[in-house]
Amino acid sequence: MPNSLSSFNRDTFNTALREKGLRPTKQRACVYGVILDKRDHPTADDIYDRVKRHLPGTSFATVYNCLETLVGCDLVRQVNMDRSPTRYCPNLTPHAHFRCTQSGKIYDVEIDNDTLSLMQALVPEGFEAENLDLSFSGTAKSSNN
Amino acid sequence: MPNSLSSFNRDTFNTALREKGLRPTKQRACVYGVILDKRDHPTADDIYDRVKRHLPGTSFATVYNCLETLVGCDLVRQVNMDRSPTRYCPNLTPHAHFRCTQSGKIYDVEIDNDTLSLMQALVPEGFEAENLDLSFSGTAKSSNN
DNA sequence: TTCAGGAATTAGAATAATTCCAATTTAGCT
DNA sequence: AGCTAAATTGGAATTATTCTAATTCCTGAA
């Protein structure tokens, strides 16, 4: 039985959904599962393909619905880089993204607390930032694959 | 005659285009003009409306073509925030953006050199960043309009 | 346990931003 | 003026995403 969540993740998942009064359905679990499974910042399209291998009847709308739900429950994060399709990421720690313009691959980049504080301090008086997004693009040596 | 470029901007414009072997057409000048004129981070749609007031025959495709050209000549910058339409910005200094989730307005946020260096230092060995994007979203007090 | 009612899923249509395309116009050279 | 490549044009096409209305599925009260 592939893509069953580990009991740890299953717990996180159930709890997060129940807290919002939402149902932990098999589609939602599966979408969450494939995102945890291969942390390659998949697009909705990628996720759809992977989910179909486990739950063949799943529709595109459902994938989008599930993703929206998971994002709303803070189980996964959206990653938007330029105009390219939205990607999804189970890494919830504060981190930036690096996109290789050659391969299209996206890498997580840790942000240390000092730098994070300095960035947050850029926001002027009278503005209240709830969200911060930092991304880089450029080239990655192929040894980083 | 509205939206004629100041002689300073006209020079910048002509030079930047000629350097790439491109023609400084009236459509390109007008698109550049409206972006300089009202620095409110307009979308292609906004720009189209404003350009039509000066050059009524202009098509949408032309606006997009001109924008691409201007970006390629480093005369304006694209600003992408989440999934919302691309916006355009004539501020070429390193700066971040703040989007007010209530009004949708976008504000420039200066980045000091120290913070900029620290951010650039986040990029790990083996990665070469050509581009850095920092954006915030949250709420802005209405006195910031 | 059943069953009512809300929640979730589904297929397919609709939308929004952007890009593509083929035809026409224009600008810059000789 | 006339040639040629570049730019513009209108409309069709594309892409990612959202919407809609119908169906199916859970859950908890009887």
B32 and B79 housed in the same domain: yes
Spatial contact of A131 and A80, defined as CB atoms under 8 Å apart: no
Q: How far apart are CA B75 and CA B13, in angstroms?
A: 7
- Domain extent at residue B140: 93-144
Whether residue B1 is contained in a domain is answered as: no
Structural domain count, chain A: 2
Boundary residue ending a domain (B38, B71, B87): B87
Q: Cα B80 from chain centroid?
A: 10
How is residue A47 annotated by DSSP?
Answer: H
Q: What is the pLDDT of residues B11-46, one digit of tens each?
A: 999 999 999 999 999 999 999 999 999 999 999 999
Give the pLDDT of residue B145: 58
Q: Nearest by CB to A143, which of B118, B121, B126?
A: B126
Give the pLDDT of residue B24: 95
- Nucleotide of closest approach to B86 (CA, C1'): C17
A73 and A118 housed in the same domain: no
Q: Along the 145 residues of chain B, how does pLDDT read in single tens digits?
A: 446 788 889 999 999 999 999 999 999 999 999 999 999 999 999 999 999 999 999 999 999 999 999 999 999 999 999 999 999 999 999 999 999 998 899 999 999 999 999 999 999 999 999 999 999 999 998 666 5
Boundary residue ending a domain (B39, B71, B87): B87
Q: Do B82 and A80 touch (CB under 8 A)?
A: yes
Quote the crossing angle between the two packed helices B7-19 and B26-37, to the nearest 10°.
Answer: 130
CATH code, domain carrying B63: 1.10.10.10
Boundary residue ending a domain (A51, A68, A87): A87
Give the pLDDT of residue A143: 61
B35 and B50 housed in the same domain: yes
B120 and B73 housed in the same domain: no
Q: How close does chain B come to A44, measured CA to CA in Å?
A: 14
B47 and B100 housed in the same domain: no
Whether residue A134 is contained in a domain is answered as: yes
CATH code, domain carrying A99: 3.30.1490.190
Q: How far apart are CA A138 and CA A113, in angstroms?
A: 24
Give the pLDDT of residue A2: 47
Q: Which residues of A touch B136 (CB under 8 A)?
A: 122-123, 127, 129, 131-133
Q: Which residues of A touch B111 (CB under 8 A)?
A: 122
Q: How close does chain B come to A16, measured CA to CA in Å?
A: 24
Give the pLDDT of residue A141: 83
B102 and B79 housed in the same domain: no
Which nucleotides of strand C are protein-proximal, with an atom < 7 A from a CB?
Answer: 7-12, 16-21, 26-28
Q: Nearest by CB to A123, which of B98, B122, B131?
A: B98
Whether residue B104 is contained in a domain is answered as: yes
Whether residue B140 is contained in a domain is answered as: yes
Greatest pairwise CA separation for chain B in angstroms: 53
Determine whether A144 is exposed, middle or buried from the number of CB atoms within 10 Å of its CB (0-12, 13-18, 19+): middle
Whether residue A28 is contained in a domain is answered as: yes
A106 and A78 housed in the same domain: no
Successive 10-residue mean pLDDT values, chain A, 145 residues: 76 95 96 96 97 96 98 97 96 96 93 97 96 95 65
Give the pLDDT of residue B2: 47
Whether residue A1 is contained in a domain is answered as: no
Pairing of strands B127-140, B95-100: parallel
Q: Which residues of A touch B128 (CB under 8 A)?
A: 138-140
Whether residue A2 is contained in a domain is answered as: no
Q: Cα A137 from chain centroid?
A: 18
Pinpoint the alpha helices (H) of chain B.
7-19, 26-37, 44-54, 60-72, 113-120
Give the pLDDT of residue A1: 42
Give the pLDDT of residue A49: 97
Instruction: Indicate the average pLDDT of chain B.
Output: 94
Q: Nearest by CB to B83, which of A86, A109, A119?
A: A86
Whether residue A72 is contained in a domain is answered as: yes
B11 and B82 housed in the same domain: yes
| Token digits of residue B55 | 């050059």
Q: Do B141 and A126 touch (CB under 8 A)?
A: yes
CA separation (Å) from A95 to A34, B9, B35, B76? 21, 39, 33, 28
A69 and A11 housed in the same domain: yes
B116 and B76 housed in the same domain: no
A82 and A16 housed in the same domain: yes
A102 and A138 housed in the same domain: yes
Q: How far apart are CA A47 and CA A66, in angstroms?
A: 11
